[in-house]
Each structure stands twice: as C-alpha cells, then as structure tokens.
Structure 1
Amino acid sequence: MYRRVVLLTLLGSLLGLVNTLPNKDDWDIYSFHINSTVTSRYATTTITSRVANRMNESKEIEFHVRIPKNAFIRKFRMFMDGEVYDGVVKAKEQAERQYTEAVSRGQSAGIVSSVGRTLEEFKTSVTVAPHKKVTFELTYEELLKRRLGKYELQIFARPMQPVKDFKVDVHINENAGLKLIEMKGGLSTKELANAITKTVTDKQAWIYFYPTVDQQKVCDSCSDNGLNGDLVIFYDVQRDVPFGDIQTGDGYFVHHFAPSDLPRISKNVVFVIDQSGSMHGRKMQQTRIALIHILSDLVEDDFFGLITFDSELFHWKQELVQATAKNIEEAKEFAEKIKDRGPTDINRAVLEGTRMLNAHPREDSASILILLTDGDPTSGETNPERIRTNVKKAIASKFPLYCLGFGFDVNFEILEKMSLDNDGLARRIYEDSDANLQLQGFYEEVATPLLKDVTMIYIGGSNLTQTNFSQYYNGSEIVVAGVITDNNIESFTPEVVALSRTTKITFSCPIATPESTATAPIDRIQRVWAYLTVKQLMKKELQLSGPEKEKVKKEAMDLSLKYSFVTPLTSMVVTKPPGEDSAVLNKPKEERPETDSIMRHGVTRKFLTYPTRQRTGFSGIYFHIHFFLENIFLSPAAPTQRFLLRPEKVALPLCFDLPTAIDVKLLHHPSRGLDIKGIIGTEENAGFTQLRIHVQSDIYIEVDTESISVKEGQNVTRYSEQTQITAGSVTVIMRDKEIDVSVGDIRFVILVHEISGRKFLWPVFRQMPLDDQAEGILVYNNGHYEEGENMGTTSSIKVQGKEIDAGRSSAVDYSLPVPVTVDCWLLSAQSVLQRPSTDFNN
C-alpha cells in the first residue's frame, strides 16, 4: 500500500526527490541536542533528536546528520515504543550480503553517496505511528587536526524548521592549558551571536548555543525554515614545553608534539603545474591567481623553481633561483601567461621537478615538491604503477611530494599513492569559486618548515603509530600513540630527535614519567590509538598489493570492528524489530555525484544526489539508509544513564537506560526502615549528583561530590573533610574517593568518580540481606534472568520467565574504582524492571 513520505532533514540538506514534499504541520522536532566533548584534541559528539508525528496516519520520517569527513561513526541508536535499537558494526562484505539479500526480496534498503569537501552525511528513515514519537541518537569521534596554529571543531545545523528545544553544548578540556578560543561560521552571525555563551578557564572551556525559535531564523543563511549553517570553534593550547603534551592511561599513551619557538628552515620548492587542455577556463584562471599569491609569500632565503606541463615541459628557469624581489616579479609574469594546451605527461613533469631539487642541494634547508594536476596521465608514461616506481626511485626519500588534485576528473588514487610513497599527502581541490584560496591555504600549511628528519622514539613502547616524519611545519602538530609495554610507566622513556636549521636537536620528556590522565574517560587514550592506527593502516593498504595488502587490510578491519568504527572497511547494520528488513550504513568513497536509486517494497525510486554549496563553501557526502517500521513508537526521555546488571545465568551482563535529571528510587527496604534515592545528572551517563539516605524516621543524610550533610532531628551538620560520622544506626566513613555507609547489616559504598573534570557519585552494595519486600533499581541485580538463543549481535533473555529480545551493546561499569567499558545485552528498562520505569521515579 502506498504511504505518503514525510521528509525530516536534521543537520543536512534535502536531496531526495520524493513524491510528496513535507508539510511541517505533519511532524514536529520538539527537541534537538548536540553534545560535543573534546579532551586532549579528541572529540566525541552525540546528536540526539526527538520527533513526533502529529498526524492521524503513519508517516515516514527521515533523519539527516552531517559529520566531519575525518570522523568515524561509533554508535547509532533509535528509541521506539520503549525499546532500543542499536546499529551493529560488521565487516563490509558481511553487511553488503545482508543489504543485497534485502533488495533481492524487494524489501526497503538503500545506500546513496555523494561528494563533499569536509562533511559527510548520514541519513535514515523510520515510519512513525499516529501521534507517536521516535528518538534518534548518533555518536561519532574525531581526532582534531592542527592547521595553521589552530584546532577546528565544526558543528553543522539545518533542521528545516525552528526547534523549541534546540541546544548545542561543547566542553573542551585540555590539560596543557587553553590559549585561544574563537567562534566563526554562519551560526555566529546576526542575532544568533547573542545565543552563544562562553566560559573559559585555564584548562577548560564551555560553549553553549541555545537559540530561541525567533533567533533560529536570522543568521546569514537562515529563514523561516530555521537554522542553516555551521558553528566553527577554533582553539589552541599552551606550548610551554617544547617536548609537547604526553598522556598515559590504561596501558596506552598519546603524544602531541608541536614546538613553536624554533628558527625557520629556508626551503627549496618546485611548483609543477598542469596546463593541459582540461585545465581550460576557470581552473587555469584560479591556478594563476593562487600561484601569483604564493610567489609573493616566498622569503628571500628560499629558492624556487616553476615548471608547467602538458605533453611537453615549460620552464621558467632551468634551475632553482633565489626568491629575490626581482626573480619573484619575473616568475609572476611567467605565471600570468600560463595557458592550457595538450595532453598530460605527469611522469615526465614530476621527474623534472625532482631533478631540479636534486641538482640544488643546500645544507640547512628543506626541499618540497608540489604537483597540481586535474587529470589522468595521457601522454608519455601512462601506467600508474610504473609512474609510482619512477618517482619513488628519483626522490629516494630525500623530500616530500605533495599532490593537489583539481576537481573529479583527476586520477586521485595515483596522486594519493605517489604522495604516500614519498612522505607527503594528496589533497583534492574543489571546483568552487574559492579554489584559488584552497591552493593558497594548502601552501600556507607547508610554507614554514621548522624541523626535518623527525624521529619519535619511545623506549618501553610498542604497537606504535607512525614515528618518522620528513618535515614538521609551523602551525601543525605530530601525534603519536602506542602501547606502554606491560603497562610499566617507570620504564617508558620518550624522546624526539630531529634536525633544526642549524643542528641536530633532541627533545626529552621534562618529567620522570608522563602525566597520567585519570580524569579522562577510561578508554579515551586507547581509542585515540585505535583511531590513528586504523587511519594509518588504511593509507598503508592503499600502497601495497598481494598478501601484504590483505594482511594490513584485515588488521585495520579487525580494529574497526573491535572499536565499533564505521570505516571504509566496515559498515553499520541498523538493527530493527523481528520481521523488518535490513539497512546498511557505509562510509562512502569520494566520487562524482550521480543518479542513484532506492528499492522500497519492490519499487525503485530514482533521485539525484549532488554537493550542496553553502555560503561557507562546505558541501556534504550523503549516506542514505531507508527502512520502514510498522510498530507504534514511543520515545523515552533522553539523554540517559545506563545501568548494568550481572545475573549469574547470563554470559554477558544486562544493561538498561533511564532518563537523566530525575530522582530515582534506588532502594526501599521496609523491614530496615531504609530508603535511598539518587538524583541522576542532566548529561548523558552523568552518574548521580546527589544521594539521599533516610533511616527510620528522623535521620536524613545527603551526599554530594563535595560534602555530606546529616540531619538528626532538628540538628544539621555538614562535613567536607575525611572523617567518620555516626548517627543512630548509621555509620559513614568519608574517604577521598570513596564513602562507606553501614546501616545495621546493610553496607554499601559510594564511589566518587571524576571524568573530564566532572565529578559524580555511584553507589555499590557490598552487603544487603534479601527481602521479598525490598524494591528499587539496585535490588534488580539479584533478579531472575536467563540467556536463550544467542545469535552474536542479538540474544533472547528470559526475565522472570518471559522471553525478551536484546541487542548487543556496551556500558561503562562505574561500580569499580577505575571504570571500564564492558559488553552487555541491552534491554528496555521496563523489560528489566517488569513494570514502568516511572514507578521508580520520586
């Protein structure tokens, strides 16, 4: 039966040409939150959107999310009808089989990708019953890269309607100390600037963006349809120690190395510019503009060369010359006359640039070769592998090769491989009006070399990410992560050896042992290592062939699966209720936009995808996943706090979520006259901000992260230092990170955790007599659960004899002094508690 399609676009742009355009009265985005936490340059961002269907019939609603291209999606969840459905990361081949089978059965499934510059887009759809709700939640992670002296955190928003409860919360925590915080982007213009508040201390910053409904219509590119733009946060950190910032935790380390107070190394640079026929028109014009600007930025102690090529070579000068004012003006005149001509001989042009650099060796200088081209090799040597071999042999690891690919006709893969072969990188230049600025921006990143032949050494370290770098440029940063062998921090000795302008230089760790990051999430440093390792393994796999290629590919895929990263080697299968068809999320390759189709219930709907140009110059890569759910959906409140249960007859612990910012009944023990309540914090997995203990009729104890208040009768006493407290049958022992509480034969411990500078409480029962009348969230750890059929990512769990489907997920176990992340079977709170979770709210 045909169903009308309602399109909901969140943080993205309208791409599908569907039969019916959305009427904003049909649906309501009643809440939309972005929460981004950056700790030591590693950003974890969660986007939560709650949507209601206001109509009297079921509607399909789509969810769009734009994320940075360098990020890995870690988790996607939907809350529907009191149940939680998690995406599961699988090997791409396995996920593709599931996708293909769904299509062959005529079921709804689809993947569509298009091209973007800095962003990718995730899209999924769900059918919502009349007057019901659904909650979407997406989490992604990204290691922020330092460019031109700044880190950049980009948040994009385009909900297509004003949202009453719209919030963006950003928390930055840098132990090295903050040096700069500034905000740009379309969402910081006009009246929206008044919706931004900022609090900055020495090491932390909080940015809140809470626009009103009216304010959401008044940014540079906003309209009555609400927000449309990005909020970009730039920052840097203090660099008082040249060695940099090294952090350890859970047997792993991450080292950020970015010294700045070093003399500039003069450079030898050769520009190799494609002037083949395909560069005709705006490409050639923008190249000339950029090249003239770049030549103006050369410093007098630099030496440079300039070659243009098609099937022939054209030199400005046969050899490198000094960047004097006279030479620069003559080179600009040459650049202004560059015109497009014939076919493309990349091999000959790059080898000639290499010859010029090799023929002009200078001590205390750094050499750089920059190639700009927009096409395939079509003249001379055209075999990509022979070109790679020729170039690598000629350069012989003496200097880096940077390849700039103009547009989408270029063979970008060969550029990537040549750059990786020769310690450089490849970057695509997009055919936009600002292409000349893209070229200039890239040159500025490599314009000021400070070190060369950089070697990062870690005695007592293993499983290291890349440790050798041909050059280090001012405004950039080198990041290395690894494993501390046997977790022996005392034998771990890091140092950096490099060549500066005048001499060999060694950077040593200024303290006996690197700083531990106990306040950070327990697995963050390990995840940074995994993120870097996967990225670098995928680059390495691009260069290899045969068994070596397959070995590296498997290693990268295994890590992606272990850490639930959606990478080019893995896909996410969105799990749904029994009987529903599959949906698959891929991280797409960057390719030219084209016509795509989606199969829905045997009907193929074709539509166009294309890069949408924003005023900021950004465009998106689009993931589309479409599926239909017939269930009636009801959205629970979110964000949530996850709880763990450890029943004996279940291999994995169970877990369930409760909403935050509520007062929860933890224990009611009538025979002991004991009541314990806890207030859950307002953030995702924020723990308890306060515990309230009531004993008999006249003893009230309140515990927060800084103190304990005891009310006995009319007397109230507050304690904030380590001590022992006795009140009636209650004994409380305050310690630094732990509070012991005894009430007769009941004993529990309140752990005080601190993560990213935020403290919270977590109660753990050590001794509690069983009592059929006792109730509360914490009583259910002794419930009756059994595991049924286990299918890897799903399982049937018997709760009080009733069989319930569960999906595999993860949770942080805060019952330990040092929290750890564990796998668990995720059920709804109502399934575990066997009654509405609201019965446990106070």
Structure 2
Amino acid sequence: MDKAALRLTLFGLLFTCVNLAANKKQDIDIYSFHISSTITNRYATTVITSRVKNLLTQSQEIHFEVKIPKNAFISQFKMTIEGKTYDGVVKEKEEAQKDYRRVACLGKSAGLVSFSAVGRTFEDFKTSVTVAAQSKVTFELTYEELLKRRHDKYELLINAQPMQPVADFKIDVHIHENPGITFLEVKGGLNTKDLANAVSPLKLEKDAWVNFYPTRDQQTKCDDCSENGLNGNLIITYDIKRLNQRGDLKALEGYFVHCFAPTDIQYISNNVVFIIDRSASMSGKKMEQTRFAMLKILSDLAEDDHFGLITFNDQIQTWKPELLKATEGNVEEAKMFVKGITSGGNTDINAAVLKAVDMINKHHQEGSASILILLTDGDPTTGETDLVKIQKNVKKAIDGKFPLYCLGFGFGVTFAFLEKLSLENNGVARRIYEDSDADQQLQDFYKGVSTPLLTDVQLSYQGVADLTQNTFSHYYSGSEIVVAGRIIDNSLDSFTSEVTALSKRTERVYNIEIPIGKLNSDKPGQKNFIERLWAFLTVKQLLEKEVTLQGQEKYNAKNKALELSLKYKFVTPLTSMVVTKPQDQQIQVVHKPKEGEKPTISPTSSYGVPCIVEGGAAAAGVIIFEPAEPTSPPLKSIRILKSSGNAKPLCYDVHRVAQKFRLLQNDQSEFSMNGQLETVGGKGFSQIAIHYKTHHHLLLSTSEISYFDGQDTVKFSWDQGLTHHETEHVSLILRSNEMDVTMGNIRVVILLHKKDENFLWPAVWQQPKDAGFTGILGEAAISYEEIPGSYTPTLKLKNKEVKTSWVMVTNYRFSFAPVIGCWLVPFNVVAQRELSDFTVTQL
C-alpha cells in the first residue's frame, strides 16, 4: 500500500508554510485547509486546520508535518477521527517521558518526537495517524508568538505549498492594533498575476484584514503553481501609529502591556569594535562573505561614528590601535584592511574580546553608545580555551558598561557558549547560516543595532508585580521595547508609568498617567491576550536568564518558567506535549529543543522497549526488579535486569546472604552507594547511603532523608513537596516520592514505593562511559548467544553454557512499575565474582 503524506509547514517571524502531500493515485483528499491568524497588540495566535479523507477501501497512515517559528510556542494540537477528538496534553518534560516509558515498557506502541531545526527560523514537527477506509481526520494546531518589530515593521510571511489543489482553501489574517495601523502591504509570489485577485487586503484605522481564497483552478495556473497546486509566498507587513511618544499602554483583567518605541529622538553616534575570526576554519566562502559584508557595513557607518577592527586567530591584529571617526578617508583605509584579511591558524577568542574591551574603554566618546560585535565560526583552540573562564574574564572586563553581540557562523561553534557570553553582557547571540546570503545576514544584523536612540532605559510602574524585563542597555531605531506585568493594587484610580533614559548626554523622562477605565482593552469578551502575552514573554525571558544564573537563582528561574509553561500549555524546552492516538495506535511525546540542540530520541533496549533511557547509563543500563506474582518464588532474593546486545534482556537473583550490599562504586569518581535490604516484607531496601569524595554523605530511609556536606546537616521529608538543594558538584532534587541525586558526573534516583510496606529502589540514570564501576549495579551490559535445539533454554554466556528460564519481573525503577520478561541466569556467571564480594558491614 502506498503511503500518503500530509504536510503543513509554518515559517518566519510568523511564517506559515503548508505542504500537504499525496501520491499520484490521489489516495487522500485534502478537502479543506484553513490558516487563521489573529494579531492583537503584536501578539499573534495562529490556528491551522486541515481536513483530510482517506479515499481507499482500506485503512492507511496519513502524515502531518508542521514547521513552526523557533520563537513560537505550540499551545494546542488535536486530531478528530470519526467524531472523537484526541488532544495533546502539555506536561513537565520528565513526566511526559514517564508516560512514554510506561506505555513502551508495557509493550505498546510509543513514539518520542522532538522538534528539529530545519532552517533559520523554524522547527519541524511531525506526527501521523492511521485512518480507516473512507474515513476522515481533522488536524488542528495552534501556536502563539509575540511579533518583534524590526526595521520599522512587523512581518507575517505565509508560504503555501500543498501537493494537490484543495477545494476549500482559505488563509485569513486579522490585525487589530489600538493605536492605529499606518500601512499594510501584501506582496510575494501568491500576490502576482493570476493569483492577484484572490488576495483581498483591507485596512481601516485600527483593523486590517488579508484574505487569500484561491479557486481550485487558480491553484494550478499561477506562476509558481503546477498540477500539484500552490507553491509560493504571501508576505504581509505593517506598522502602527506612534503619536504618543510615551508608548502604547493597555490593560485587561489585571494584566498590562506597555509598548515603547519613541521616534522624536536624535540619533546617538556609535563606538563599535568589530572582532573578526580569521582562523583556518574561516577560509574559503566564509571569509569571502565576511569581507563582502564588512565592506558594506563600513560604507553604512555614519560620519559621527567611531569604529575599530580586530582580526584574530592565534594572534591579535588591529587595524588601528584606537577607535577612529568614520570619515571618508578612514573608511576607505579600513576597507583596504578588510580586503587583505586572510585565514589561517588557531582561535583565541579570549584575547581578542579582551583587546576589544580595552580599546573601547580607552577611547570612549562621551554621549555615544558603545557596542562590541564578535564573529566566529568555532570554539577557542588556543590561549584560554576553558569556556567558563572566558565568560568570567569577559564579564569582568565589560562590567556591564556596554553590550557584546556574538554571531556564530555555521554549526561548528558551541552556540550555548556564545549565548551565555552575550546574555551576561546585555547582548544577544545570533547564528549566521552558511548560505549564499550569509553576507546579507551579517548586514541585516548590524542594521538592527547600528542606530541607537537611547541608552540606560528603565521603565517603572506603580502598583504592579511580576514585571518582565524593564531595564535595557540600548533602544535602537526601528525596534520596540515591550514590558508586561500584573496590576496588584486594585485601589488605583489611574495607572502610572515612568520611563527614564539617556539620549546623548541628556536624561529623558516619559511619564504616563491614564485613568483605569480608559486603560482596559476596547475589545470586551475576547480571550485575555494581554495575560497570555505576559506569560509568553515571561517564559521566554526566564529561559534566557536561566542560562546566566547559578545555584538557587537558576533553579528558581527554571521552576517559574516551568510553572507558567504548564499553566498556559506552552510547549517549551521545559515541557512536552503527550499526544495519545486512537486505541492500538501509539502515543507520542513532543519536545522543543534549544538553539543548536539536536533532536533527542531516547535509546531503546535491544528488543525495542525503551526501559533504559537516561544519559550515559543506557549503555551500562542496570534496572532492579522484584519477582512478579504469582509465579515468583518466595521473596528470598531480589532480581536484577541487564541490558544486552541480544534480542532479550538478562536478569539474575541476588540472594539474601547478607543484609547490606555495595550497590555501586567508582574509585576514580570517589563515589559509592550502599543499600540495606528490608527485614520485614523483603521487597526492597529500607536504607540507602551515598558517599561522594570525603565529606558528602546522603542517607535515605523510608521515613526521612539526611544530607551532610562536611559542615552542616540538612534533613528532608518525603512528603515536603518539590525541594532543591545544591552545593559544589552536588545537586539534590526532591520530587513526589523520588530523590534525584547528582554527585559529580554520576546521577542516581532513589524512589520510595508505597506497596504494602514502604521500600526504596535505586535507579542509575547517568554515569561516565568506559569508567570502572563495581557493585551489584555496576556490571556492564553483556552479550550472549541462544543455543538452538536444547530441551531446556540454554545461553552461551562468557564462554559458558548456562541453563535458563524465561521469567516475568516487576520493574521498580519506575514509579508505575511495569512488568517485563527476561532470561534468568546465575549471578556468579554474569558478575564473574561471588555475591559475598559485594557485601559490606556498614552503610
């Protein structure tokens, strides 16, 4: 049976690209396809609805693919099949992983899907569903995004690329901006010649509409069309009136948003130093494009600007030792320097950036705005190469005085390093893609930061809480500052705002006082877009801020972002969407990656069940089980499962010859974990002790937890709720009935199970690969051969023939305790040691 594919693609700042594919036999009919995008106060909500019918007389799988903007959050996805709707549910990422493992470990179908970066501005999301003969399915996806103002406009880009003409094809865009809309422009390949009359733009004072309703005939006869239907773009750009230089202030149901973009300000001259990587990896087209872009950027410098050029490999070269004014003569001389840049050698980022900081500090021009722009395509390979030390050195040198912008050319650089380097110094990091227009990407970035109007911008409000970022080092022409928050003082008759900033040497103050009655939205009854805008912006900024924080502050920022993501059902890097399909079909867990992060698919065991999934532990994977009722022997032993290179896992009994065992030990890491078996029910451990180096000691029992760090003792209770405790190289996270322990590069989770009698079970989640571990949990994965023709099942294991039997065991490594099968073999054959070698006298 040929498979049909249904693909929807969304792209851009708010870029929607749809690709609905079917084979030549037209096995499916995409009989309806709608995109509906609503933008209110720059906050965009887009809903894509596609209705498809299976034309075959047998069931078939229909695929759904969506590319969404990297800056957007999916907030809803659902499928409707034969009148029943299946909703995606947003959960904390680890909770979603548990759902996935619960289904997978029970032998049911499960899929773990990650967004993957498929371009500069969008991510790929795919799913599929089996549809019965002659039946229909409706896919509906919603995502949300705050549109950023760039180069004096907001842009909505829609790309339509279905693989067949669609009878009911509609794209509707509605824009509502209370200050008024100054212009609306529609262009692109779908607005030309035969398709021009299918586009209907309309602009009133505060509202604008764009409708695109091509007929089936038009979908095959336009310039970019074929028998497979549309293939082209609609580009919608607009801007708003800015009569009030103090900004646009709105509130609704206890939340406010302030959009600030004054235009009555004189341009501030720039002090800018360009730091250009000329190491060997920049050779060829990268360097050619960099030279071309720099020549254009130099031509665009204003005469009042002062600038400097630094190139670096393992040596630092400056065009001039100081910043010079951008006169015609200086610019021409700088261009000659740029034309002569050649590549070769290693990469000393630390020395280059510190040299640039020193240049600006020595030659700062009063009343101007200073910025640094670093362009590199790789990690440091000479000089100071420790990324953390470089970040500390640069942060100390800049000391908050001016921003550092980092441009990562291609994918050879650790983007997280550049991101933190920028964020810690009031800048941003951007990736420059190795395409034919890389030089234009560089020019566009500089254009956005080349015209500062204000510095040291601070926005303050009366009677509010939970503000988004309200201090900014620079405000640039053509951009916009957006601040949102909660109004907590219900007694206010009016709402006041004050903006203070520097324009050249002059302090500027913008005051707003608006009666509460006039402040509220003029669109009653609508969904509170301001509250969702606030939540969206808060989560975005917390995720950025978390990169620069440490310890408790880092934990608090991450936890707050997670809380809001769950409340507002955003799929973020901290959450996942669990998509449950019709009976007998799989569930899928959808993740959103960070910039530069590769898609993560949990590894599976050798027989296809992903019961061992976390970090480096998957290779050595050890899972402890209890024998399953009713076929299990009396509880005189515990049972351990081993991953293997074969079709089925191994397990072996650990008989109760002693009460205390060495569970895991690694002398190199100075880590050990011991456990004491229960004496009553015998189902697990009553106590587990973890030791790290000489002074970190963690003791867990079924009633309490105690941690000693060499000086102080901290006690926890299992029922005290989410708690995080962190010291140097040690992290303890107490969740519901589980203690997540990271000591150095080893991570274990201790679960408290409440079944008849309470007991503990340890789970090794992460450990260094190729490290020598001992203990009853420390044995590496083992391969074996099944010997055919034996009356009793026999395995060839470590050059020995071993009689075995197939047993079912309960996996207490997970809170939901799935039952799974394994080959039961003797302990001493697997470990090549006696069990007495792993007994201890003290925990």
Q: Is the 8 A contact 1:110 1:598 kept in 2?
A: no
* Aligned residue number for residue 32 of structure 1: 33
CA distance in 1 between partners of 2:303 and 2:441 (Å): 24
Residue 681 of structure 1: aligned partner: none
1:379 aligns with 2:377: no
CA offsets per residue over residues 143-175 of structure 1, 9 Å max, x none? 000001001122232222111110000000000
Distance 2:515 2:328 in 1: 50
What is the correspondence of 1:438-517 to structure 2 with a 5 Å cutoff?
Answer: 438-490=441-493, 492-509=495-512, 511-513=514-516, 515-517=519-521
Quote the residue 1:9 is aligned against: 7
Is the CA contact (8 Å cut-off) linking 1:39 and 1:174 kept in structure 2?
yes
Written as runs of structure 1 = structure 2, the 5 A alignment for 1:676-695 is none
How far apart are residue 601 of structure 1 and its match?
A: 14
Question: One-letter code of the match for 1:375?
Answer: G
Cα distance in 1 between the residues matched to 2:10 and 2:250: 36
Partner of 2:139: 136
Which residue of structure 2 lines up, in the alignment, with residue 314 of structure 1? Answer: 317
Q: Is the 8 A contact 2:66 2:124 kept in 1?
A: yes
Q: How far apart, in 2, do the equivalents of 1:323 and 1:245 lie?
A: 36
Determine if contact 2:496/2:514 at 8 Å carries over to the other structure.
no
Distance in 2, Cα, partners of 1:427 & 1:534: 20
Does residue 530 of structure 1 match 2:535? yes
Cα distance, 1:337 vs structure 2: 1.0
Matched with 2:151 is 148
User: Among residues 75, 90, 107, which one is paired with 2:109 in the alignment?
Assistant: 107
User: Does 1:48 find its partner at 2:49?
Assistant: yes
Deviation, 1:230, is 3.1
- CA shift at 1:188, angstroms? 2.8
* Distance in structure 2 (CA, Å) of the matches to 1:537 and 1:451: 24
Corresponding residue for residue 61 of structure 1: 62
Report the CA distance between 1:184 and its aligned residue: 3.1
State how 1:329-408 maps to structure 2 within 5 Å.
329-408=332-411
User: Which blocks of at least 5 consecutive residues in structure 2 are unaligned?
Assistant: 12-20, 610-843
Please identify, of 463-472 and 116-125, the stretch whose mean Cα deviation from structure 2 is larger. 116-125
Letter in 1 for 2:425: N
Cα distance in structure 1, aligned partners of 2:240 and 2:25: 44
Tell me how far apart the structure 2 counterparts of residues 119 and 126 of structure 1 sit (CA, whole Å): 23
Which residue in the other structure is 2:183 paired with? 180
Match in the other structure for 2:79 = 78
Distance 1:449 1:583, change over 3 A: same
Aligned to 2:841: none
| SS, match of residue 110 in structure 1 | strand
Measured against aligned partners, the alpha-carbon deviations of 1:20-58 in whole angstroms (never above 9, x if no partner) come to 983451001000000011111001110000000001110
More divergent stretch after superposition (163-172 vs 582-591): 582-591
Gaps of 5+ in 1: 14-19, 605-842
> Counterpart in 2 of 1:777?
none
Paired residue type of 1:560: S
How far apart, CA to CA, are the structure 2 residues paired with 1:7 and 1:77? 18
| Deviations 1:552-575, CA, capped at 9 Å, x for gaps | 111101100000001111011113
- Cα distance in 1 for partners of 2:429, 2:190 equals 31
1:566 is the counterpart of 2:571: yes
Distance apart, 1:7 and its partner CA: 1.7
| CA distances 1:579-611 after superposition (whole Å, capped 9, x unpaired) | 54311111123438799899999889xxxxxxx
Instruction: Please give the TM-score of this superposition, normalised by the length of structure 1.
Output: 0.68
Structure 1 Cα separation of the partners of residues 308 and 381 of structure 2 = 24
* Cα deviations by residue, 1:754-790 (Å, 9 ceiling, x for unpaired): xxxxxxxxxxxxxxxxxxxxxxxxxxxxxxxxxxxxx
TM-score normalised by L of structure 2 = 0.68
Amino acid at match of 2:365: R
Q: 1:341 to 1:190 in 2, by over 3 A?
A: farther
CA distance in structure 1 between the partners assigned to 2:562 and 2:455 by the alignment: 33
State the alpha-carbon separation in 2 of the partners of residues 446 and 483 from structure 1.
30
- Shift of residue 518, structure 1, vs aligned partner: 4.2
Write out aligned runs for 1:265-276 (5 A): 265-276=268-279
Q: Does 1:288 align with 2:269?
A: no
Task: Say yes or no: does 1:546 pair with 2:555.
Answer: no
12 and 262 in structure 1: CA distance in 2 versus 1, 3 angstrom threshold: closer
* Match for residue 421 of structure 1 among 421, 424, 445: 424
Aligned counterpart, 2:200: 197
* Alpha-carbon distance between aligned partners in 2 of 1:210 and 1:11, rounded to the nearest angstrom: 18
Match 2:594 to one of 573, 589, 598: 589
> Which amino acid in 2 is paired with 1:231?
L
AA matched with 1:143: L
- What is the match of residue 641 of structure 2? none
1:244 corresponds in structure 2 to: 247
Q: CA deviation at 1:99?
A: 2.5
Does 2:256 correspond to 1:253?
A: yes
> Counterparts in 2 of 1:574-723, with a 5 A limit?
574-591=579-596
| Change in 2 beyond 3 A, CA 1:135/1:117 | same
Are 1:429 and 1:435, in contact at CA under 8 Å, matched by a contact in 2?
A: yes
Matched residue type, 1:42? Y
Number of aligned residues? 596
- AA at the equivalent of 1:5: K
Higher relative contact order (CA 8 A, sep 6+): 1
SS at match of 2:79: strand
What is the CA-CA distance between 1:275 and the residue it aligns to? 0.5
Distance in 2 (alpha carbons) for counterparts of 1:484 and 1:282: 53
Q: Distance in 1 between matches of 2:487 and 2:160?
A: 40
Matched letter for residue 93 of structure 2: K
Per-residue deviation, 1:106: 5.9
The secondary structure found in structure 1 opposite 2:78 is strand
Distance in 1, matches of 2:399 and 2:454, equals 19
- Taking a change above 3 Å as real, the CA distance of residues 184 and 601 of structure 1, as seen in their structure-2 partners, is farther
Q: Please list the CA deviations of residues 86-109 of structure 1 after superposition, one character each: whole Å capped at 9, or x if unmatched.
A: 110000111122224444536241
Shift of 1:497: 0.3
Separation in structure 2 between the aligned mates of residue 219 and residue 600 of structure 1, nearest angstrom: 51
User: Within 2, Cα distance between the matches of 1:276 and 1:494?
Assistant: 49
Please give the alpha-carbon distance, in whole angstroms, between the structure 1 residues aligned to 2:605 and 2:569.
Answer: 28
Shift of 1:11: 2.9
Tell me the amino acid that sits aligned with residue 277 of structure 2.
D
Q: Percent identity?
A: 57
Match of 1:573, as an amino acid?
V
Per-residue CA shift, 1:344-395, capped at 9, x if unaligned? Answer: 1111111111111111122111101000000011111111111111101111
The 1:362–1:286 alpha-carbon spacing in structure 2 relative to 1, beyond 3 Å, is same
| Aligned equivalent of 2:91 | 90
**Partner AA of 1:467 in structure 2:** N
CA-based RMSD: 2.3
Tell me the equivalent position of 1:660. none
The code of the aligned residue for 2:3 comes to V
1:314 shift after superposition: 0.8
Matched position secondary structure for 2:250? strand
Cα distance change, pair 231–106 in 1 and its aligned pair in 2 (3 A): same
Secondary structure of the structure 1 residue equivalent to 2:320: coil
- Residues 548, 593 of structure 1: alpha-carbon distance in 2 compared, 3 angstrom cutoff: closer
Partners of 2:491 and 2:177 in 1: CA distance? 25
Amino acid at match of 2:351: R
How far, CA to CA, are the matches of 1:377 and 1:215 in structure 2?
54
Q: Which amino acid aligns with 2:26?
A: D
Equivalent runs, 1:801-812 vs 2, <5 Å: none
